[in-house]
Amino acid sequence: MTNLAKESSTLGGDKHISMTNPQLPRFAPLLVAVIAWGLAALIGIIALGGSIPGIVVVGWIIFVLALPAWSRAIEGPRRSTDRLVTALIWTTFAVAMLPLFAVLTTVVRRGAPALSAEFFTYSMDGVLGEGGGIYHAIMGTLIVTGIAALISVPIGVLAAIYLVEYGKKNRLSQVLTFLVDVMTGIPSIVAGLFALAVFTLLFGPGTRMGVAGSVALSVLMIPIVVRSTEEMLKLVPDELREASYALGVSKWRTIVKVVLPTALGGIVTGVTLSIARVAGETAPLLLTCGVLRVTNFNPFDGAMQTLPVFIFSQATSGGLARYVPFQVERAWGAALVLIIIVMALNLLARVIGSIFSPKTGR
Amino acid sequence: MAKSIDVSDLNIYYGDFLAVQGVNMTIKARAVTAFIGPSGCGKSTFLRSLNRMHEVIPGARVEGKVVVDGQSLYDPTIDPVAVRRQIGMVFQRPNPFPTMSIYENVLAGNRLNSKKMKKSEADSIVEKSLRGANLWNEVKDRLSKPGMGLSGGQQQRLCIARAIAVEPQVLLMDEPCSALDPISTSAIEDLIHELKSDFTIVIVTHNMQQAARVSDETGFFNLKATGEPGHLVEFNPTKKMFSNPDEPSTEAYISGRFG
């Protein structure tokens, strides 16, 4: 055994090259973190008057200086840089997560007490102080965004099919792509003004209609649907189209039966995400659908309440001081419901995407 | 069922770029014709011009005549979709439809054209085509599984089954074995031997031995010089081509002295 080891060590050359390197113990980052924030707490209490953000920042500075320094002394410069960059990346991640986490916890904490059976089944009809619900707003949001999706999905998907399959780099498709890009950047209030202007021209001033809100939302939705569908169609390999053509299949049948099914998962995901994106729009709906305290199921007749506008009106409407706490509570509750709806749509998009995506069978 | 193809003075362009110049040949019915030549000499381009797949690429066009069964393929009254129903194609990379099962893939040519057929009729087409492609025994128990789950060689044979399921007159094959291992290659070469009793087969290959093994006639394409269009150097029976070619450049290419 020892003989063999000796022989093999001479095979690669005479000099023994070590591949080991001194390493910090595995708990090193944890140890440094504890010491750093302990030290920071001490400094904070003595010099900063115990301010918690101050302690966090000071502790972070100590950690980012101390851990690489210790590592440099023992492990060498490469490992030290690695530890520094790792610490920085975790910091940016934490900073990015902070607002999201804060928003979620605040909304859940303040909105959860408002949720009750009454909250989901009653409108605000005749309610001033305690009680009332968001049934009318939920129905309004579902109807308005539903009609918006009905308008924008066919237009958006068909436009994307034209851009990818028929208008390959011709003049018209270049102009269309540019316009879609411009439309993506339209501020939502402008879309609302547009819809308001159209319906004022058609039905006279002061018109409030659910469908006007749908039109405003579809102005915002169409570019998103076009863009995401376009990207998905571009991902379908040309080989599949050629395979279909080579079987003597006409172009439109190839698109309907080969290209669209292959891209369906992505298209449905894109559409669902665009619905989630516009479901929370406030400004255009405030302009076009107005505010209403009772349930209205007819999108072609009169104002319609929606969740974002409900939140806005509850949070800003004045009134007697004793009603205000109930209004604020209802606003938080509606905000929580809106977030849940949007999250559910996002989850649904993922599920649908995985159901429709082509299976490899492996 | 099988038809011959007459090509005269064919020039093939990509936009302004002349890719293949002045091709004249007659491809015999019920025989295997192979095209060999260095990369970029226009073999595949020429092959794709035989069933009007060439024009799928934007800007691509063709001058000259391709006559099948007395009809000129590039006549304005000809419907390219109808041409492709008569002249099927198998591509270099296997490309089964990812959303379809093995069964649906074989029937794709019929189903996508909304041909109405009974279940028993469809079953018999699937079985016949898969047997024709030497794949039946391997997949008969999992016809409803996705076509993408097969191995590369099986996928390529699935694509051949799909192409012969619509019963074309001519089968074009663009380097059908270049992505496959030797065993799958040999399976497909055996298949080509069997298929030639029913179909006119045109195959592009980079593998000289393959051309010698499977083909009855061989065409050698080459570039005159870099940047010049490709052209047909020699077109002769395979035996003559590989033993006593007319052109010295053919012999040089086949014996591996250039290209």
Is the pLDDT score of A2 beyond 60?
A: no
Q: How far does B72 lie from chain A, in Å, by closest CA?
A: 17
**Chain A contact set for B108 (CB, 8 A):** 244, 247, 249
Q: What is the mean pLDDT of residues B114-142?
A: 87
For chain B, the residues whose C-beta falls within 8 A of a C-beta of chain A are 51, 53, 56, 58, 81-86, 88-89, 91, 93, 95-99, 108-109, 111-114, 145-149, 159, 162-163, 166
Comparing CB atoms, the residue among B91, B109, B166 nearest residue A239 is B91
Inform me whether the pLDDT recorded for A13 exceeds 80.
no
Q: Between A and B, how many residue pairs show a Cβ–Cβ distance under 8 A?
A: 94
Q: Does the pLDDT at position A295 exceed 70?
A: yes
The mean per-residue pLDDT over the stretch A4-30 comes to 71
Q: What letter would DSSP give residue A146?
A: H
Token pair 């591996």 in the structure block, residue: B256
Q: What b/e sequence results for B103-131 when a residue is b if at least 16 CB atoms lie within 10 Å of its CB, and e otherwise? A: bbbbbbbbbbbeeeeeeeebeebbebbbe
Residue A163 CA from chain centroid, whole number: 26
Strand order, beta sheet including B170-174: B71-72, B60-68, B5-14, B17-27, B230-237, B217-223, B32-36, B200-204, B170-174, B87-90
- For residue B135, name the pLDDT band (cuts at 50, 70, 90): confident
* Residue B168 contacts residue B179 (beta carbons within 8 Å): no
- Tell whether the model's pLDDT for residue B147 goes beyond 90: no
Query: Residues of B with CB below 8 A from A239's CB?
Result: 91, 93, 95
Best of B51, B85, B91, B97 to disrupt the A interface (most A CBs within 10 Å) is B97
Asked if residue B179 has pLDDT above 80, the reply is: no
Q: What is the pLDDT of residue B55?
A: 85
Q: How many residues does chain B have?
A: 259
> Mean of the per-residue pLDDT values for chain A?
87
Would the pLDDT of B200 be above 80? yes
DSSP state of A60: H
Q: Where are the beta strands (DSSP E) in chain A?
A: none
Q: Which of B84, B112, B162 is nearest residue A257 as measured by Cβ atoms?
A: B112
Residue A362 has a pLDDT of 45
- In this predicted structure, the answer to whether residue B61 has a pLDDT above a threshold of 80 is yes
A321 pLDDT higher than 90? no
Strand B230-237 with B217-223, pairing: antiparallel
Contact A243 B97 (CB under 8 A): yes
Predicted local confidence at residue A192, as pLDDT: 93
The string of pLDDT tens digits covering residues A172-215 is 999 999 999 999 989 999 999 999 999 999 998 888 889 999 99
Angle of helix A260-279 relative to helix A210-235, nearest 10 degrees, comes to 140
d(CA A168, CA A251): 14
Chain B residues with CB inside 8 Å of A259's CB? none
Evaluate if residue B11 carries a pLDDT over 80: yes
Cβ distance of B51 and A360 shorter than 8 Å:
no
Cα distance between residue B39 and residue B19, in whole Å? 12
Write out the DSSP string of chain B.
Answer: ----EEEEEEEEEETTEEEEEEEEEEEPTTSEEEEE--TTSSHHHHHHHTTT-GGGSTTEEEEEEEEETTEETTSTT--HHHHHHHEEEE-SS----TTSBHHHHHHHHHHHTT----HHHHHHHHHHHHHHTT-HHHHTT-TTSBGGGS-HHHHHHHHHHHHHHT--SEEEEESTTTTS-HHHHHHHHHHHHHHTTTSEEEEE-S-HHHHHHH-SEEEEEEESSTTSPEEEEEEEEHHHHHHS-SSHHHHHHHTTS--
For A147, the enclosing helix (H) or strand (E) is helix A135-161
Q: Does A171 touch chain B (CB under 8 A)?
A: no
Domain boundaries, chain A: 22-113, 120-356
Q: What angle do CA A112, A118, A124 make, to 5 degrees?
A: 100
Query: Largest alpha-carbon pair distance within chain A?
Result: 101
Radius of gyration of chain A (CA): 30
Q: Give yes or no for residue B102 having a pLDDT over 70.
A: yes
- pLDDT, position A11: 55
Please give the residue that has the higher pLDDT: either A9 or B170: B170
Could you report the per-residue pLDDT of A123-177, keeping only the tens digit for each? 887 777 777 888 999 999 999 999 999 999 999 999 999 999 988 778 899 999 9
pLDDT digits (tens, 9 = 90+) for B66-90: 998 888 888 888 888 888 888 999 9
pTM: 0.80
- Determine the pLDDT at residue B114: 73
Whole-angstrom CA distances from A171 to A227, A252, A346 are: 18, 22, 36
In the predicted structure, residue A4 carries a pLDDT above the cut 70: no
Question: Cβ(B203)–Cβ(B35) under 8 Å?
Answer: yes
| Residues B16 and B199 sit within 8 Å (Cβ to Cβ) | no
CB contact under 8 A, B93 and A245: no
Kindly tell me if the per-residue pLDDT of B53 is higher than 70: yes
* C-alpha span between B133 and B165 (Å, rounded): 10
Measured CA to CA, the distance from residue A264 to residue A257 in angstroms comes to 11
Least Cα separation, residue B109 to chain A (angstroms): 5
- CB neighbour class for A250 (10 Å; exposed up to 12, middle 13-18, buried from 19): middle
pLDDT tens per residue, range A54-78: 888 889 999 999 999 999 888 888 9
The ipTM assigned to this model is 0.87
Least confident of A104-113, A124-133, B191-200: A124-133
Full 3-state SS string of B215-249:
CCEEEEEEECCCCCCEEEEEEEEHHHHHHCCCCHH
* Average pLDDT estimate for B117-136: 88
Q: Which residues contact A322 (CB under 8 A, 6 or more apart)?
A: A129
Residue A87: pLDDT band by 50, 70, 90 thresholds? very high
Element (H, E) at A63: helix A52-75
Q: Tell me the CA distances in angstroms from A9 to A17, A118, A145, A254, one per residue in order.
A: 10, 81, 73, 65
Within the 228-247 window of chain A, which residues sit less than 8 Å (CB to CB) from chain B? Answer: 237, 239-247
* pLDDT tens digits, one per residue of B226-256: 778 888 999 999 999 888 888 888 888 888 7
**pLDDT for the residue numbered A322:** 78
- Domain A120-356 fold is MetI-like fold (1.10.3720)
Of the residues B73, B81, B89, the best mutation for testing chain A's interface (the one with the most A CB atoms within 10 Å of its CB) is: B81
φ/ψ of residue B10, rounded to 5 = -85, 120
How confident is residue A102, by pLDDT bands cut at 50, 70 and 90? Answer: very high
Q: What is the mean pLDDT of chain B?
A: 87
